[in-house]
Structure 1
Amino acid sequence: MTTNRGPQPPASPAPFLSLRTAVVLLTATVIGLVIGGLTVLTGAPIAAAVISGLTSAGASIPVLRTLID
């Protein structure tokens, strides 16, 4: 005796980013925004604030990768 179960629903695709990667990137973005904002508040030019924010966000990614497990 065989039973017909009908068509199987397709398996859900893998997520675009893992949860760990999303948390690391979001935290790095927040760090970059805070550092950039603080740099603007010191009276530095906007370009210097953007550079400092991008640098701090980029430098924090390897550290956050090791801290967040």
Structure 2
Amino acid sequence: MHTAVVFLAAGFIGVIMGGLIFLSERSIPKAVGAGLAAAGVSIPTLDKLIG
């Protein structure tokens, strides 16, 4: 259950970040890259915060 919450929150952060980048840059590849990077970077932090 803990892992699911961490990945769900990381996915949410990634979608929000990707959406914001898309709105500012109008570039799908940049938005996807930023969203994946934000989700990947947030996983260790969320694991420590939620854990």
State if a TM-score over 0.5 links the two structures: yes
Unpaired segments ≥5 residues, structure 1:
1-18
Other structure's SS at 2:44 match: helix
How large is the RMSD of aligned CA atoms in angstroms? Answer: 0.7
- Residue matched to 1:25: 7
Q: Name which structure has the greater RCO, CA cutoff 8 Å, separation 6+.
A: 2
Distance 2:25 2:44 in 1: 29
Q: Percent identity?
A: 49
Shift of 1:45: 1.0
Structure 2 residue 48 is matched with structure 1 residue 48: no
Other structure's SS at 1:42 match: helix
- Alignment match of 1:35 (pick from 10, 17, 28): 17
Q: Aligned residue pairs: how many?
A: 51
Which protein has the bigger helix share?
Answer: 2
Distance 2:16 2:27 in 1: 16
TM-score, normalised to structure 2, is: 0.95
Aligned structure 1 segments of 4 or more residues deviating by more than 6 angstroms: none
TM-score, normalised to structure 1, is: 0.71
